[in-house]
Amino acid sequence: MEKSTGYIEVDLFSRDVNGPDHPEALRFRKILEEVAKEFHCRLVSFEVDSGTVAFSFDSDELMAEILKILQDDSKSQL
Q: Supply the pTM of this predicted model.
A: 0.84
In this prediction, residue 3 has a pLDDT band, given cuts at 50, 70 and 90, of low
Does 50 reside within a domain?
yes
Phi/psi at 39 (nearest 5 deg)?
Answer: -95, 5
Does residue 72 lie within any of the structural domains? yes
47 domain residue, yes or no? yes
In a domain, residue 3? The reply is no
How many folded domains does the chain comprise? Answer: 1
Does residue 1 sit within a domain?
Answer: no
pLDDT at 9 over 60: yes
Q: Domain for residue 2, yes or no?
A: no
31 belongs to a structural domain: yes
* Cβ-count burial 27-57 (b if 16+ within 10 Å, e if not): ebbeebeebbeeeebebeebebeebebebbb
The Cα-based distances of 5 to 1, 35, 47, 63 in angstroms read 13, 19, 16, 10
pLDDT at 6 (0 to 100): 87
Q: Residue 50 belongs to what domain range?
A: 8-76
pLDDT-derived band at 5 (thresholds 50, 70, 90) equals low
Beta-carbon contacts of residue 22 (< 8 Å; ≥ 6 apart): 13, 48
Using the predicted structure, report yes or no on whether residue 40 has a pLDDT greater than 80: yes
